[in-house]
Structure 1
């Protein structure tokens, strides 16, 4: 249609934005969000885009309604031929049948309407998941009737297909019966038609002769109460059908004449198409922003899961900091090795001539026992590795607990699988190797610090008496210089060690340099441990990143959806929705208005 290219572009961009999984997690009422997204994408594919591309194409009237309302019988009776297969078994309509005149057959055999449904031809029952297209000479040009599955079918696929067909229709011919007209399910669909200004007529079918007036009157009352008082209402009494399951022609003639007038008058047909199309477009201004909010809710849920993991590992880093300063690293094996290093005179002997140190190393080699400084370094490294492992285990446990406490987290863990979820609650299998490498690299860094600081000639001379390794050990201990967490004799020993190592380091480097070196050593260790914890954290965040990768909900999806809705609203005026006078009339001769704002036809 001329002048609507901008509107078509906006709709195509909207449809593109709906591709992919926008709602991967159980956040909010995710089932409703997913359903709304499917329905919107389906209406764009099945109706809005093809109809806007061919505004003057034949009109599609979908005959829908409840189980047992007599939809198939009504279609056969309107066409005057056996084009559908009515029956007593439910569900009767397994695959929808579309009936069209010969002039419009090519249009409906193509993928112009309901492009996702494969076409089949011929008589008989339609196969599930297909659209059977048949022709009838009696059907006027410009009109097709589609016999939809039951909207309240026990088969979920049938209910969804019925909703899909109704969303793709230019006109609803909604069929109910005297026994089912008050059911809630049909009224949900009728209210949707009202909200979207869908062109609509209601056929009250199978009404016993003595109940026509009261039942019709009650249905009219309900229509008015639901804002549908202007909807054309046709009544078909209950009678024994003629052979082939068709109703007497005179009983369905008012409906047939009404449909015929629509098709005979191009202006009336165009008014119906434009009203239904306009109502569907107007609904986007509400439905799309609501979908955008749901996408934002989804991303907030994902972000909250990420923040829970980050908090857990930040808490782990804080626990490691406490472990460095509370004296726990100077307990047990480290404390014993410090006693060997200091209490047995090893530290003092290291201050003697180089010959003394060489002698000790030769003795250690011959006795196969490491020197006390080596044992102290190993013990300190083992203590650090154990602290890193405990920190990582607790952070993983906290992360798993946080995720398990939310529906979104449980959903994501379920996707990961029971076994994988259990492994997430503790440190990874490769953590010990990573922790050992981090500690080993840190100890090498401290050695390099000592070498670099001792490059000065005078410092070199002082450093030579203690040795680089021994000095580096003292600097490592200075990084944990604290007596917090120690008791009794431990305080005295550790405190004495701290004072002694501090004095010796100050004698070599000076007090300010020692403070700087110790701080640099601490910060480098923290950086390496943080890196190890970040690697551990990726086991959780990788699951979240997988949700956000294409085709998941991209960061700009919600904003883009709102922009699409705004573009549709701004370009909506290009569609001519002017009411057309002299349109078709209902069974009582009243003017037929295709939306909720005109007079109600029929009595």
Structure 2
């Protein structure tokens, strides 16, 4: 194969390692398992086989618990190399048998790089538990026991795998990993277990990936016609399930000798088959390429499935983000409603504003312009004199309360929306996201004070010329600044409704007329627009800050997986599989 082919696999592996499926959406765990299995198969089989098509053919011997896999392996070698036992699980550490001349192919990390190599001499000298040892715990094996055996024909290697239906989860996973590394799978079953469900699930997977499969039916009762009847039934089952088997070997129930070994005659047909396969370089190459092409095609199918799950993750992440943003966008809209409906110019704010405009000093300075307004308002605008700064503080306090209350409601809505779905519940766990963050009140107060400072700066800047400055100083910057704040809140930009009648409307009119008298109509419109823009910026920032704990939870999930990259990888894998088949 060309370096272009291996480049396809390198790119695919890079994309797989970048896959992140953190949210508990339907099928997420299955997709994570598929990612792990795909990466495992790439390193264990696909890449090394693509780079070394002339390497020995790896025959993985797998099957159900107690099917007699180890006994068959021992018979093929002629000595006890893989111990079996009555206590399950039996085979713990996988055993790989190879001809001494082929040792270089397996001693390193060319295949199954995640399993450490233990040579048989070292294992026995250290009395380490090895294949079939029934002592110790049931943790999955992390090493591969290597046996160099003259009885194994050169060009062929046998790997005795753990049971595919082992009671130990780790062993089941290891068995499937080893099967994915196989060039040829020798499936071992028994006369009374061949219809079990688990092996057939694995067989169907092998068929989907076009893995070359041979089957051994072991322990067939030695009675006339039984072997033929069972073989016919097994072949029918294989055909119904769409599973193509190259060879079916029938092994009769045979008494083991004193060493626990089968007599050579019991497995003579299987032995001859392996000898013939070892001598047929072209045959081994066809099997290796067929299985490799099937594995690559299988990876393409898995990749499309992973891409679909990645899209689901992206969609769920976007949905959660939109829910949070929508909740706080609603808060932002309600803050604007509160600014425009006149509610801020009632109560304490109204009282303090009336104190300002009701002050004798103030009215004397503008009474020539506002006689009709003052007469129309009448007693509604009266009260004890108060500093304009009190009105400014009251207005700021009211605005702070509105921001705090509305963003708190937004957080409650966002959290409720998240907790309505599993993915959102996971993100919301461990923290009360609706709680007002520490320091947020102070941040809001500081932002509103800063905006009020902006307004006062606008007033000073606009009143910089000599004539306007005199009017401004005669009234006071704070009083004029509060008038501009009132105009901003009563502006049509905030769609006022509550200021259409009453004392609040009259006082707003007073503020508007005052500003126009000092600065002129055009300047007042410009100042109000700039003040509104600056208020909008600060309010946007405050609402954004309040939504940050939600969005931070999403951002902490990491970058999104590019599902389109995976789809492109799947297409490239399909093309690679076609090239491998064409080269066969």
Q: Please indicate, yes or no, whether the TM-score normalized by the shorter chain is above 0.5.
A: yes
Write the deviation string for residues 257-282 of structure 1: whole angstroms up to 9, x where unpaired: 11111111111111111111111122
What is the Cα deviation at residue 574 of structure 1?
4.3
1:231 and 2:246 aligned: yes
- Distance in 2 of aligned mates of 1:506 and 1:333: 26
Residue in 2 that maps onto 1:44:
42
2:145 pairs with one of 107, 122, 132:
132
Residue in 1 that maps onto 2:371:
none
- Distance in 2 of aligned mates of 1:413 and 1:243: 64
- Distance in 2 of aligned mates of 1:234 and 1:471: 101
Residue in 1 that maps onto 2:567:
562
What is the Cα deviation at residue 121 of structure 1?
1.9
Go from structure 1 to structure 2 and tell me whether the alpha carbon gap of 1:30 and 1:168 turns closer, same or farther (over 3 Å shift). same
- Distance in 1 of aligned mates of 2:272 and 2:360: 115
| SS of residue matched to 1:205 | strand
Write the deviation string for residues 498-534 of structure 1: whole angstroms up to 9, x where unpaired: 1221221222222343233223222211110101121
1:515 and 2:520 aligned: no
2:482 pairs with one of 473, 490, 496:
473
What is the Cα deviation at residue 247 of structure 1?
1.8
Aligned residue pairs, count: 548
- Distance in 2 of aligned mates of 1:473 and 1:150: 82
- Distance in 1 of aligned mates of 2:253 and 2:361: 111
Q: How does 1:12-91 map to 2 (within 5 A)?
A: 12-91=10-89
1:449 pairs with one of 436, 446, 458:
458
Bigger shift: 208-217 or 442-451? 208-217
| SS of residue matched to 2:213 | strand
8 Å CA contact retained: 1:98, 1:132:
yes
8 Å CA contact retained: 1:351, 1:466:
no
1:318 pairs with one of 329, 333, 337:
333
Extract unaligned runs of 5+ from structure 1: 353-368, 580-603
1:463 pairs with one of 472, 475, 490:
472
| SS of residue matched to 2:109 | coil
Go from structure 1 to structure 2 and tell me whether the alpha carbon gap of 1:267 and 1:575 turns closer, same or farther (over 3 Å shift). same
8 Å CA contact retained: 2:45, 2:111:
yes
- Distance in 1 of aligned mates of 2:347 and 2:92: 77
Residue in 1 that maps onto 2:416:
401
| SS of residue matched to 1:24 | coil
- Distance in 2 of aligned mates of 1:350 and 1:93: 102
1:204 and 2:217 aligned: yes
Residue in 2 that maps onto 1:166:
179
Q: How does 1:395-434 map to 2 (within 5 A)?
A: 395-414=410-429, 418=430, 420=431, 422=432, 424-434=433-443
Bigger shift: 134-143 or 268-277? 134-143
| SS of residue matched to 2:557 | helix
With the length of structure 2 as denominator, give the TM-score of the two structures.
0.89
Extract unaligned runs of 5+ from structure 2: 132-139, 368-383
What is the Cα deviation at residue 321 of structure 1?
0.5
- Distance in 1 of aligned mates of 2:482 and 2:392: 7
1:546 and 2:556 aligned: yes
- Distance in 1 of aligned mates of 2:94 and 2:186: 15
Residue in 2 that maps onto 1:101:
99
Task: State the Cα RMSD in Å.
Answer: 2.3
- Distance in 2 of aligned mates of 1:325 and 1:346: 30
